[in-house]
Structure 1
Amino acid sequence: MDVLMGIHVPFNVPVESTPYKGMEFEANEIAYDFYNEYGRKAGFSIRKEYVNKCKKIEVVTLRRFVCVKEGVRGKDKRYQNIKKPRAETRCGCEARLVIVLNRDSKKYAVNEFIAEHNHYLHFPSTVHMMPSQRKVTATHAIEIDLAHESGLRLKQSYELLCKQVDGYDNLGFTKQDHKNYFRTKR
């Protein structure tokens, strides 16, 4: 990671995995997955910030993906004497990927790409804990359901999954994600 006057640029990402202006995607979900994978390799998490849709045909014409630390938190309107205030997570990071629909080719092209971050990036050992990287895959969902049907409790089924993939780091989701999967299932 290069550090120039407080700006952090990922250097450990292969060139073929780095977005560039003019790059095309078949769908905006494919662009999201590509940028999310780039974020995983670089050490940051992403989120969908803005979407513009054509009202006539309900097609996404513009989409902006940003670093999760983009923007700043607004003023808290609640009671001021809070005992445990939440940590500040946003720092105004400008890193983003903007895609625009090319109406002729029906593909999404990268219109803007900013790679510089104003915060430290995550180490590869902690990348699996970032919000955009945590996913309960279909395979894991089936195993969770089977464990529940055989009478295992949540904690036991989570530990079983962790042992199957050789540790928490290789699982791809947290215990809370496991619990949330169950809640949505009910």
Structure 2
Amino acid sequence: MRISQDVYVNEKEAYEAYRSYGYNLGFSVRKDHHSYWPNSINLKSKDFVCSKTGFKKLPDLNIQRKYRRSNTQTGCPAMVRFTVDEAGYWKVKKFIENHNHDLPRLEDRHLLRLCRNICDEKASVLKAMTDAGIRTIDAFSFLADEVGGVENIGFTRRDAYNFIQKIKRAKIELGDTNT
């Protein structure tokens, strides 16, 4: 898959293209720096980077915590910078494909945190099944069977639970506490 010569019509399309490129190679992507045109609210450029880009701040060891997350950031230079012209077309300005860390094997790629959002088609099926009273784990297992295994589903079991909990919280915030 090539990313460096394509033109996209909006941010979502550009992000999905780089995310798909990352999945094919075995890395997850996150959004990073952006800039705006002077005196405007229109984007001028936006960077999408490997999720291992950058470094975490050193933790304050004086603060006692129950759990500390392991640091997986390596300062990876892999990224793509899109510029947005006045017509709104997204074009690649800078593309760095080299990583400073090992990429996972093909059979381990399904474990990547590819995105926090489940794609629309699978989300509607998952939501409909849980609304019908089917447990989240059973709905997830059904979807995994339909696409030929957990490695092909595109999200983890934890993502499915988080998605359903997000919907439930939104209902409560809207005042639908009777459900």
When the two structures are superposed, what TM-score results if normalisation uses the length of structure 2?
A: 0.81
Equivalent residue for 1:141, pick from 103, 123, 128: 123
Equivalent residue for 2:95, pick from 113, 123, 130: 113
CA RMSD of aligned residues (A): 2.3
Specify every segment of 5 or more residues in structure 1 that has no aligned partner in the other structure, as ranges: 1-16
Q: Which residue pairs with 2:106 in the alignment? A: 124
- 1:19 paired with 2:28, answer no
Q: Which has the higher contact order (CA 8 A, sep 6+)?
A: 1
Q: Which residue pairs with 1:174 in the alignment? A: 156
Residues matched between the structures, number: 168
Q: Is the 8 A contact 2:114 2:154 kept in 1?
A: no
Q: Which residue pairs with 1:47 in the alignment? A: 30
Specify every segment of 5 or more residues in structure 2 that has no aligned partner in the other structure, as ranges: 169-179
Shift of 1:181: 1.2
Change (3 A) 1:169 1:134: farther
- 1:64 paired with 2:47, answer yes
Q: Which residue pairs with 1:99 in the alignment? A: 82
Bigger Cα displacement from structure 2, 81-90 vs 161-170: 81-90
Q: Which residue pairs with 1:8 in the alignment? A: none
SS, match of residue 131 in structure 1: coil
Q: Which residue pairs with 2:69 in the alignment? A: 86
Q: Distance in 2 between matches of 1:109 and 1:143?
A: 34
Larger strand percent: 1
* Paired amino acid for 1:182: I
% identity of equivalent residues = 25
SS, match of residue 63 in structure 1: strand
Q: Which residue pairs with 1:14 in the alignment? A: none
Q: Distance in 1 between matches of 2:69 and 2:37?
A: 38
Q: Is the 8 A contact 1:134 1:174 kept in 2?
A: no
